[in-house]
Structure 1
């Protein structure tokens, strides 16, 4: 029996680099994976990929910031599978207008951009949890948020993103305690803290067009004892464990997968 067999697991942001890897891993572990994203074409491609490998998948186009779309998604999931066992809040990331460039005035930051980044990374996890988590009240379930090393140590230029992920850490702990006091061990919430992985959103900041590292990319590698970026599949072990019953006494914690970046003192 596979570790997630017969479990219905939702992955928001399921067409991204990391989210897509999560989808593949959940299906390989026997889960019935629900892929949520905004791009219908990419959703169908990911669904097809899962099915071709012998997995089971449902693709639903929805924006994690729009409650009405998520409510409709929940009805589709429940009418198809009758339950929801897990949720991976992988939607998020930075937004261009929130970036502070070295030449920018620190007192002239794009406040609307910062708010957008903060809201995407915080409310983009809270809203899906409110809607899909409610379906877990009877049978139980587990929720996994995606944090960031930017919540543990200061990264220049990405204030809005860092604030959003720091808030995710607080939310993960708060929800874990509140859920435990109300439902015992039925509903758990944890998070994964990835180090640096090349994604569509950060690739241009970390690498040049020829594949060489930018100045920022070089600084990150120098501060990572492993001396390299992470590979998406290297997050999957932590994810599957947190989604499975093997971690049933674990709630309110984060699993850091960062090549020792956050514990390196530089010497």
Structure 2
């Protein structure tokens, strides 16, 4: 019986592949039978992860590039195609927040760091769009495939402090829907674009905001848990099932969708 959930024979690039969530994405793709390009700026981490996968019998290549740098991305695409000869999927996991993109409660709302907000918005939007321009072309030449963007709860509800990140992820949602329609207009059902919207997962960027060094939650962490029906943070590996489904042929009639993996955060009214 053909396993439509398998990624056997498929090649997928993961931008932000050197991050915490990116690591789960990479491993999940390999576990599902796919070959993976681990793309990120941290050469050491990318190469270590690729080496570990290859030693276990998987197929991986380290691709060193900035998701905002088209020239570097094109060079990475060349390396990937030289290695595997095709590309079937792209996971746009590069993104995140920066200190200058944060407005703290004690700061003047009319004196925001506009440049910082722009940088964070640009990273999340253009750090998704530019890799799609580069790697999407290769997917089209393969004949079809799936592109998965990373959305966020920040695009669904007003999350305080991180305005730049909120705007960037909201823009990713808009882009996902618009581009999915345009892909369908040009390629029919051959190339799909969807988004995965994680709830709150502990990463290096948010760990200090949500947890205390001595253990337990910060005030902000407590608020997140209170608003999450499962009453816990997610584990990165809990994103794998939805991701593999979106990359696989099992989701062949799904495009322009945003799949929430959030322990119920997005639907809970707080009462």
Which consecutive unaligned segments of at least 5 residues does structure 1 have?
Answer: none
Residue 178 (1) aligns with residue 182 (2): yes
- Structure 2 counterparts to residues 18-57 of structure 1, below 5 A: 18-57=21-60
CA RMSD of aligned residues (A): 1.0
Q: Find the counterpart in structure 2 of residue 79 from structure 1.
A: 82
After superposing on structure 2, the runs of 4+ consecutive aligned residues of structure 1 that deviate more than 3 Å are none
DSSP 3-state at the match of 2:57: coil
Tell me the alpha carbon deviations over residues 125-159 of structure 1, each in whole angstroms, 9 at most, x when there is no partner.
00000000011223111100000001000000000
Distance 1:110 1:171 in 2: 25
Residue pairs, 1:38-117, within 5 angstroms: 38-117=41-120
Q: Indicate yes or no: 2:255 matched with 1:251.
A: yes
Match of residue 266 from structure 2: 262
Q: Deviations over 1:51-92 (max 9, x none)?
A: 233311000110000000001011111111111100000000
Deviation at 1:122, TM superposition (A): 0.2
The SS at the match of 1:107 is helix
**C-alpha separation between the residues in 1 aligned to 2:15 and 2:151?**
14
Alignment of 1:225-236 (within 5 A): 225-236=229-240
Q: 2:151 matched to which residue of 1?
A: 147
| Structure 2 CA distance for aligned equivalents of residues 184 and 107 of structure 1 | 46
Residue 193 (structure 2) aligns with: 189
The 1-side partners of 2:235 and 2:17 are apart by 17
The answer to whether residue 5 in structure 2 is matched with residue 17 in structure 1 is no
- Residue 128, structure 1, aligned to residue 128, structure 2: no
CA distance in 1, matches of 2:52, 2:152: 28
Mapped pair 1:157 → 2:161: yes
Cα distance in structure 2, aligned partners of 1:169 and 1:238: 17
**Structure 2 alignment gaps of length 5 or more:** none
Distance 1:69 1:144 in 2: 21
**Helix, strand or coil for the counterpart of 2:95?**
coil
Mapped pair 1:219 → 2:245: no
3-state SS of paired residue (2:109): coil
Taking the aligned partners of 1:154 and 1:240, their CA distance within structure 2 comes to 29
Residues 1:202 and 2:206 aligned together: yes
- Taking the aligned partners of 1:149 and 1:70, their CA distance within structure 2 comes to 28
Answer with 130-139 or 44-53: which moved more.
44-53
Deviation at 1:237, TM superposition (A): 0.3
Show CA shifts across 1:193-232 (max 9, x none): 1000000100111111112210000000011010000010
Summarize deviations over 1:20-67 as a string: whole Å, max 9, x none.
100000001110000000011111121122223331100011000000
Equivalent pairs, count: 267
Q: TM-score, normalised by structure 2?
A: 0.97
TM-score (norm 1): 0.98
